[in-house]
Structure 1
């Protein structure tokens, strides 16, 4: 009866907290004019394993299966690839198109705190905006979401095109750029020396590995203005006039002008693990340091939709941000509030279940959370349970009350009891609670 490793069930205060956070995120997504969608969990394996989808590392974690027709299928490992497929398939879609989606995804990877094999992602994406304003808006939205959830964050960002440019200038061969990026992304997890060894194992010359790690250390340890530190990195490798550097420069200026530079930190080693990113990438981290893994992230992926549509020459400028619900829950778990107790309980006496249900529904129609006690339960036990749970009012309905359209209204705090018409009882409850 135990759960499959890497899966979990949610109930009680934890499920109530998850639902509350989802509602808050959806409200902000809608405020920023993103439209809710829902994509398929089950997809063709060919789609999920395509070279322009998740990349080799993520494909190794994909759950695969076949149906009765022996078709090769897979469970989605993120919400980005199914979204890209949707846009590629809908030729008449009006751009720019902004969407959000919340749903389960599946990865057969290592299980640790905040990382499961079945988990919920909350994604926002916009397709059709090529400039840095799309990234700036998503970073602004991310900052609002974490603020709303009460989590202080640092949003680290980089640009893969710029990263490729200065890695090449540092002596990294073009064909090694992608795998070198994935290794550099592990610095915080495995340390500089382990990264150095992995780079050399992948064919990077020792001098080039040393130059790259020294540059990253200098940038990460700098207390200078981020724009100045970036320009120093450009000058060190002579890449200041290249396209990737221009993209970084534009986003730096935009973030500064909208007041986001205080929580958005440029990180020259950040690349993220998925292979489809083509420009800006970013990740969110707990600013207090109590939780070290990423709380969410995303970036620009301009090529994948055109490739899925069968025309790699056409680019669909697209950028997104994904919020991880499970790591967010890990941070907020300590402050979970008890499940809200309904302020009213309706107790049927002597089989008056229909009358009790009608009364409960009348109270609920006023927007008041109401519990219906099971028929046949002893009144004393029902009231004792309601009192211990913190219910404010108990509404009792027996045969005499039902015949005269009356109820017994008990105030569990004031310890008063009155026999009233149903409408008057509801009015009294509303006056206190609303």
Structure 2
């Protein structure tokens, strides 16, 4: 018996850390007024394979199945298309609409560090805003999330429209622009030489290849440098970049958010801004999150004006974040009080006592292991538990408890209400 490759069970300290990360994400999402959503895992195959969805690279990794009614279905491979479906099916949703969702997605792809076949995605999306303020707000969300997780990041961003305009001025044919963008997106992984080699295999005109080669050999080019070099100043893409860049500077995000003219993220449905989040120290090379603007998907799904549902989203890579945090020490969660029965007859009273403590919002554990009291006390001390309540037959008969302070090494017999006041005063 073994787990399917690329799937894991989480428990103990690792699950506690995962829960902590999810709690940070949820707190920040709700701080920014995003509503929670829970979309369907099973979807019609036609939806997931539509030309407006994830593209060939993702579709070949999709898990497909047929139900007993011979309907062709698929497991969701991300949270974006199911979200688009929800908006399309509920035209009464008031726009702009901001949602977040944390849920499992499935991809039958290669397994490596930080990349699984069953994994948790954590998404935020804004639909109904076509201005750069939507992208800027999601950048603020990312900065706040990783600040709380104590992970220094670099958020690299670009604009699909702008990159397309650059390639157009170089003479790249329209039908080859997506392929060239994919190659440029790999520059950090395969280097300039790798990019040049891939370009050579695309059958581009020699002058076009030379122009692209000159572009990638520029040393960390800025937006102004590139727009001046190629004469792209008042185009749609360049104006979008300028507007977002001004907002980033106004918000003080310019040290975290860096313009990257080669970033494209590879997915065909992006229509404007794209961004990807990386560990600022570069010790972990996988992406920690990413996203962008996809203005056309929802409108196309419902056969309406493509621009009717301007949308921008960001996905946080839970598994990559976990890989980065896994070796960090985690403060173990322990109960504030442990209740121990002395003798079998006192177990009902012990259960009732624990229930009353919990009703007062005091995390309470039970030790009914029937081991020697000395071992139970040693266990509580090793976990840093301050108070132990002992209940023997005499205490049960008198309606009392024996409160043991492990820090002060004192022990007193008193009522549960009195014990409760002491615990609340000293540990809450």
TM-score, structure 2 normalization:
0.96
- Name the counterpart of 1:226: none
Q: Which whole-Å CA distance do the structure 2 matches of 1:400 and 1:381 have between them? A: 22
Q: Which whole-Å CA distance do the structure 2 matches of 1:172 and 1:190 have between them? A: 21
1:407, CA displacement in angstroms?
Answer: 0.9
**Pairwise mapping of residues 31-430 of structure 1 onto structure 2 (< 5 A)?**
31-218=31-218, 220-222=219-221, 229-311=222-304, 313-351=306-344, 352-374=346-368, 376-430=370-424
Q: Which whole-Å CA distance do the structure 2 matches of 1:314 and 1:432 have between them? A: 59
Q: Which whole-Å CA distance do the structure 1 matches of 2:14 and 2:234 have between them? A: 51
Asked if the contact 1:158–1:266 (Cα under 8 Å) also holds between the matched residues in 2, the reply is yes
Q: Which whole-Å CA distance do the structure 2 matches of 1:195 and 1:212 have between them? A: 10
1:366, CA displacement in angstroms?
Answer: 2.7
1:282, CA displacement in angstroms?
Answer: 0.3
Change (3 A) 1:236 1:325: same
Q: Which whole-Å CA distance do the structure 1 matches of 2:214 and 2:204 have between them? A: 15
Change (3 A) 1:314 1:240: closer
1:365, CA displacement in angstroms?
Answer: 2.5
Asked if the contact 1:349–1:375 (Cα under 8 Å) also holds between the matched residues in 2, the reply is no
1:343, CA displacement in angstroms?
Answer: 2.7
- Name the counterpart of 1:432: 426
Task: Tell me which moved more, 203-212 or 138-147.
Answer: 203-212
1:381, CA displacement in angstroms?
Answer: 3.2
- Number of residue-to-residue matches in the alignment: 427
1:375, CA displacement in angstroms?
Answer: 6.1
Secondary structure of 1:387's counterpart equals helix
User: Over the residues paired in the alignment, what is the CA RMSD in angstroms?
Assistant: 1.5
1:166, CA displacement in angstroms?
Answer: 0.8
Change (3 A) 1:126 1:377: same
Q: Which whole-Å CA distance do the structure 1 matches of 2:375 and 2:206 have between them? A: 76
Task: Tell me which moved more, 16-25 or 370-379.
Answer: 370-379
CA deviations on 1:232-269 (whole Å, 9 max, x unpaired) are: 21222222221111111111111112211121111111
Secondary structure of 1:108's counterpart equals coil
Q: Which whole-Å CA distance do the structure 2 matches of 1:430 and 1:153 have between them? A: 40
Asked if the contact 2:295–2:306 (Cα under 8 Å) also holds between the matched residues in 1, the reply is no
Change (3 A) 1:110 1:387: same
Asked if the contact 1:216–1:268 (Cα under 8 Å) also holds between the matched residues in 2, the reply is no
Q: Which whole-Å CA distance do the structure 2 matches of 1:314 and 1:342 have between them? A: 53
CA deviations on 1:374-398 (whole Å, 9 max, x unpaired) are: 2644433322322232221111112
Q: Which whole-Å CA distance do the structure 2 matches of 1:182 and 1:148 have between them? A: 33
Q: Which whole-Å CA distance do the structure 1 matches of 2:140 and 2:391 have between them? A: 54
Unaligned 5+ runs, structure 1: 223-228
Q: Which whole-Å CA distance do the structure 2 matches of 1:237 and 1:294 have between them? A: 30
Asked if the contact 1:353–1:375 (Cα under 8 Å) also holds between the matched residues in 2, the reply is no
CA deviations on 1:287-310 (whole Å, 9 max, x unpaired) are: 111111111010000000011112
Task: Tell me which moved more, 252-261 or 231-240.
Answer: 231-240
1:165, CA displacement in angstroms?
Answer: 0.8
Q: Which whole-Å CA distance do the structure 1 matches of 2:358 and 2:206 have between them? A: 71
Q: Which whole-Å CA distance do the structure 2 matches of 1:419 and 1:231 have between them? A: 76
Secondary structure of 1:191's counterpart equals helix
Change (3 A) 1:366 1:202: same
1:5, CA displacement in angstroms?
Answer: 1.2
Secondary structure of 2:327's counterpart equals helix
